[in-house]
Structure formats: structure tokens, C-alpha cells
Structure 1
Amino acid sequence: MTDATQGFGLIQDIDVRLTVELGRTQMNLREVLDLAEESVVMLDRLTDEPLDVLVNGKLIAKGEVVAEGNRFGLRILELAGDNRAASPRERRAPPIEVAPAAQAEGIA
């Protein structure tokens, strides 16, 4: 085992924040203060566009929401920096299990 491999092993158990970003918008404070129940906020992303997957604020992948029973999951479609789109086999991969503590943080 090389020194680099051993060093990587030391950091694998460090917790990171995984965020799935549905979209963004810019609003002025008046618009924010006018929000109420049933308000609709339009986002900058189309319904068929992949979602951004970020770790500690850094884009690492693109993905799509999947539902299994009454829970949401995330299917990774493309890794950041990967110039190829996910193959059909990768698209059919089972969703990643989300730990209950991370579940509320993971879908934004």
C-alpha cells in the first residue's frame, strides 16, 4: 500500500455535507416578505434538467430524484469533470441509501 492510499484511508470517515440543489432564484427582500403558504417560487432550472449534487458546497455530480416507497433518493447521472454522460446501465443503478440524520439535509 502506498503512502497516498494510506493517507486517503485516514480521512474516509470524516463527515461531509451532501446537498442536492433543486434550483435557485434571486428575489428582493419585499418578495421574500410577501411569501406565504401556497406561494410558488419559480426556480432557474427546467423540470428535465439534472440536479446539482454538492459536497461541502463543491459541485461533484449531476443527478435526479427518485422515489422509493415514501422516501426520496438520488440517482447519480454524471460525475463532475466526467466528459461522458452516464451509460444506461449506470442510470439504472439502485438509489443510494440516505441515513436518517442526513435525510433532512440531503434534499434541498
Structure 2
Amino acid sequence: MTAPTETNDAVARTLAARMIDHVEVELEAFVGAARMTVAELAALAPEAVVALEAPLNRAVELRLNGAAVARGELVAVGDRFGVRLTEIAP
């Protein structure tokens, strides 16, 4: 027979898990970075191209609160971009 405190703990964990399922988070896709001077930044105009310090075939990194949680490749999803996951952090 299960002790009442063990049952209460299990119920509390289940409720907490269900509550956290509804918390919204922001997941960011990091493609690459660029270094430039303030003058170069100020000189940017519409349709300017900023070269990123990343090769074309480099994996896109997904970050949750700044921490890498997955990697994948860019894909087209209709008229938008998406990321097909290839690796999920343990």
C-alpha cells in the first residue's frame, strides 16, 4: 500500500507538470553573427546585405533563454522559414 505522503507527492508532481506545459517560452534560431564598426552599421541602408560569419551548410542553433537546446537545418515552410531538427541537446 502506498503511503499517503507518497501519493500526495506524486499528485503534486503531476499537477506541476501539467501547469508548466502551458507556460510560453521564446525559442530563437541563431544563424550566425557579424562584426562591424559603428560606422559600417550606420551606413547600412535598405536592401544592404550583411555577411554572416557562418558557412552556408552550418546548422542553425535553436536557443531557449540563450542556451542551445537543438540544432537543425533551414527549410521553407510556405512563405516562411522553419528549422528541421537534426539534434536535440540532452
Query: TM-score with structure 1 length normalisation?
Result: 0.64
Q: Does the alignment pair 1:67 with 2:76?
A: yes
Gap regions ≥5 residues in structure 1: 82-108
SS in structure 2 at match of 1:30: helix
- Preserved CA contact (<8 Å) 2:60 2:83: no
User: Counterparts of 1:13 and 1:55 in 2: how far apart (Å)?
Assistant: 16
Aligned partner of residue 62 in structure 1, secondary structure? strand
Which residue matches 1:13?
A: 22
Deviation at 1:33, TM superposition (A): 0.3
Q: 55, 66, 69: which one pairs with 1:57?
A: 66
Q: Is the 8 A contact 2:62 2:69 kept in 1?
A: yes
* Cα distance in 1 for residues equivalent to 2:61 and 2:32: 8
**Structure-2 separation of matches of 1:32 and 1:60:** 30
Shift of 1:74: 1.6
Identical residues among aligned pairs (%): 33
Structure that is richer in strand per residue: 2
Q: What is the rounded CA distance, in whole Å, between the counterparts of 1:8 and 1:53 in structure 2?
A: 23
The alignment of Structure 1 onto Structure 2 pairs a total of residues equal to 81
Structure number with greater CO (CA < 8 Å, separation at least 6) is 1
- The answer for unaligned runs of 5 or more in structure 2 is 1-6
Partner of 2:42: 33
Distance in 1 between the 2:47 and 2:81 partners?
22
Give the TM-score normalised by structure 2: 0.75
Deviations 1:1-30 (A, max 9, x none): 835444222211111011111111122211
- Aligned-residue RMSD, C-alpha: 1.9
Matches of 2:14 and 2:68, distance apart in 1: 24
